[in-house]
Amino acid sequence: MTRFPLSEFEDTIVAISTPPGRGGIGIVRLSGPAARTIAEPVLKLRHPLAPARARFAEILDSTGETLDEAVVTWFQSPHSYTSEDIVEIAAHGSPVLLDHLLRQCLAAGARLAEPGEFTQRAFLSGRLDLTQAEAVNDLIEATTLHQARIAAQQLGGSLSRHITPIKQQLIALIAALEAGIDFAEDDIDLLPANEITAQIQAIQAPLAALERTFTYGRIIREGFTLAIIGRPNVGKSSLFNRLIERDRAIVTATPGTTRDLVTERVSLEGIPVELVDTAGLRESTDEAESIGIAKSREAMAEADVVLLVLDATTTVHQEDEAAIAALASRPFLIVLNKQDLSPAANLLELVTYPAVRTSALTGAGISELRGAILSLLTREAPTIETALLTNLRQQRSVSAALAALGRIQQAAATIPHEIILLDLYEALNALDAFTGTTTSDDILNLIFSKFCIGK
């Protein structure tokens, strides 16, 4: 898919850009060639609109009576978010008033914007590339400052700047091979296989490093689920409450208090975490408890990270051994809880597994536990976070480029340059899709449909 010139957008769109509900301020936004001419009749301006200048205005009803006061700003093309003319009307956040403004604009010829259409127009006009457009939604959806910081870096073009020199190297190699084929009669030498291999390696290395950021980038963007499991009365709920820093789960001395999953979303060093407290693992004839235990096993299977809590004062039980065996190939930590009491000697046999000693009663070891959880998840984190792959579409584009380059590496000495060029162009197309230079309408529609209306 190619970008459109501004003239392609013949209609003007409008939407309420602030969240639904009542608030101090509500904004109605118009974008398109008729934005100014549609907005002006529904307003009583004290001074004519001027580019990038806020103007005081009154909002009129159908009889010309004043309904509210507003601040109106006109952003003249191409100096706007969409690169079109944009008018933003900031009034009081009454749903009735904003709906009236919206209906007035629709009656004057505007069209109701689709979800993400303002940002889609910014992309199609070349104002943003696709990674920046995706970052807009990531920034809106951010629930932690760290997420917002990463999204802001992506919105500023960090991924694009990382990919651009890689594409330039790839294009230079394509040009050299094309020249060797097209002008062979003019004594232009073909690149030797070892030179092609060396250049491919120089392109692959930064791409492979970028692809490795996906695991960490996805955790930053989407967060992760952490299930706390263990036998009854080992301190799971107490640890859960310590990690969320409030009394959310019921804690009693009676085993089997927790019968259902208790969840809470918190931030762990800027990464969203969904903590899941579970029912104690044991054989039970109680129907409600048995259902809770079954849910615990499901939570253990579905979680990104598992904390297996053991009572440091007792021996290792069969349920503990079974859980360790089930978790051996997955990210998990053993928590030796109740360290304020006398630990049992045989628990030292578990030191071959990642383990943290805690006391949910006193809070000892909780900060170390948080650090261990982060270390477990971010051990492959890049040292510089300015360029991260944060979604599957980005990862697949880079992976497709690496796959095409890998095929060349395996057979560069035995295949003709015409075949090498086919793979090089495939790698280039994958990188073009990464930034949105060539992207199908279906993919674009899927991406922008996830945006809120008005953005």
Render pLDDT for 181-199 as a digit per residue (tens, 0 to 9). 655 554 555 678 888 889 9
- What count of Cα atoms within 13 Å lies in the side-chain half-sphere of residue 420? 27
Q: Specify the 3-state DSSP secondary structure of 92.
A: strand
Mean pLDDT of 342-355: 63
Q: What integer pLDDT is reported at residue 2 of this predicted model?
A: 45
Tell me how far apart the alpha carbons of residues 380 and 369 are, in angstroms, rounded to a whole number: 19
Tell me how far apart the alpha carbons of residues 277 and 241 are, in angstroms, rounded to a whole number: 9
Residue 139's contacts (CB-CB under 8 Å, 6 or more residues apart) are 148, 151, 152, 155
Tokens of residue 208, six digits: 């492979």
DSSP E strand boundaries for 211-287? 224-230, 262-268, 271-277
Taking alpha carbons only, the member of 271, 278, 277 closest to residue 224 is: 271
Q: Which contiguous run of DSSP H or E holds residue 443?
A: helix 441-449
Residue 356's contacts (CB-CB under 8 Å, 6 or more residues apart) are 333, 334, 335, 336, 365, 368, 369, 372
Task: Decide: 291 and 316 in contact? Cβ < 8 Å.
Answer: no
Mean pLDDT of 391-420: 87
Q: What integer pLDDT is reported at residue 387 of this predicted model?
A: 84
Q: Specify the 3-state DSSP secondary structure of 275.
A: strand
In this prediction the pTM is: 0.80
Tell me how far apart the alpha carbons of residues 224 and 222 are, in angstroms, rounded to a whole number: 7
pLDDT in tens, 122-174: 999 999 999 999 999 999 988 888 889 999 999 999 999 999 999 999 998 88
β-sheet bridge partners, residue 276: 227, 263
Tell me how far apart the alpha carbons of residues 175 and 23 are, in angstroms, rounded to a whole number: 57
Q: Which contiguous run of DSSP H or E holds residue 204?
A: helix 193-211
Tell me how far apart the alpha carbons of residues 318 and 47 are, in angstroms, rounded to a whole number: 80
Tell me how far apart the alpha carbons of residues 3 and 265 are, in angstroms, rounded to a whole number: 40
Determine which of 396-400, 406-410, 421-425 has the lowest per-residue pLDDT on average.
406-410
For the beta sheet containing 262-268, the strands, ordered from the edge strand earlier in sequence to the opposite edge, are 262-268, 271-277, 224-230, 305-311, 332-337, 355-357
Taking alpha carbons only, the member of 296, 249, 270 closest to residue 370 is: 270
Q: What integer pLDDT is reported at residue 11 of this predicted model?
A: 92
Tell me how far apart the alpha carbons of residues 95 and 23 are, in angstroms, rounded to a whole number: 9
Q: Specify the 3-state DSSP secondary structure of 198.
A: helix
Banded pLDDT at 315 (limits 50, 70, 90): confident
Q: Which amino acid, 443?
A: I
Banded pLDDT at 4 (limits 50, 70, 90): very low
Tokens of residue 376, six digits: 């477990």
Note if the bond before 416 is cis, omega within 30 degrees: no
Percent of the chain with pLDDT over 70: 85
The number of residues in the chain equals 455
Q: Specify the 3-state DSSP secondary structure of 106.
A: helix
Q: What integer pLDDT is reported at residue 266 of this predicted model?
A: 85
Tokens of residue 339, six digits: 């360290």
Mean pLDDT of 308-316: 84
Mean pLDDT of 409-413: 75
Percent of the chain with pLDDT over 90: 36
Tell me how far apart the alpha carbons of residues 307 and 236 are, in angstroms, rounded to a whole number: 9
C-alpha distances in Å from residue 264, one per residue of 49, 209, 293? 49, 34, 19
Mean pLDDT of 380-384: 60
Banded pLDDT at 329 (limits 50, 70, 90): confident
**Domain annotation for the chain: domains and CATH numbers:** 6-128 (3.30.1360.120), 145-213+387-436 (1.20.120.430), 225-378 (3.40.50.300)
Task: Decide: 303 and 277 in contact? Cβ < 8 Å.
Answer: no
Taking alpha carbons only, the member of 339, 340, 341 closest to residue 355 is: 339
pLDDT in tens, 268-302: 888 888 888 887 766 655 556 566 677 777 878 88
Residue 9 Rama label (left phi>0; alpha psi -120 to 50; beta): beta
Q: What integer pLDDT is reported at residue 189 of this predicted model?
A: 53
Taking alpha carbons only, the member of 235, 170, 88, 159 closest to residue 394 is: 159
Q: What integer pLDDT is reported at residue 415 of this predicted model?
A: 75
Banded pLDDT at 314 (limits 50, 70, 90): confident
Mean pLDDT of 410-421: 78
Q: What integer pLDDT is reported at residue 319 of this predicted model?
A: 81
Q: Which contiguous run of DSSP H or E holds residue 178?
A: helix 158-182
Q: What integer pLDDT is reported at residue 282 of this predicted model?
A: 62
Tell me how far apart the alpha carbons of residues 373 and 450 are, in angstroms, rounded to a whole number: 31
Greatest CA separation for the chain = 89
Q: What integer pLDDT is reported at residue 283 of this predicted model?
A: 61
Q: What integer pLDDT is reported at residue 431 of this predicted model?
A: 93
Number of Cβ within 10 Å of residue 400's Cβ equals: 17
| Average pLDDT value for the chain | 83
Banded pLDDT at 5 (limits 50, 70, 90): very low
pLDDT at 6 over 50: no
- What count of Cα atoms within 13 Å lies in the side-chain half-sphere of residue 396? 5
Determine which of 107-121, 180-194, 203-217 has the lowest per-residue pLDDT on average.
180-194
pLDDT at 248 over 90: no
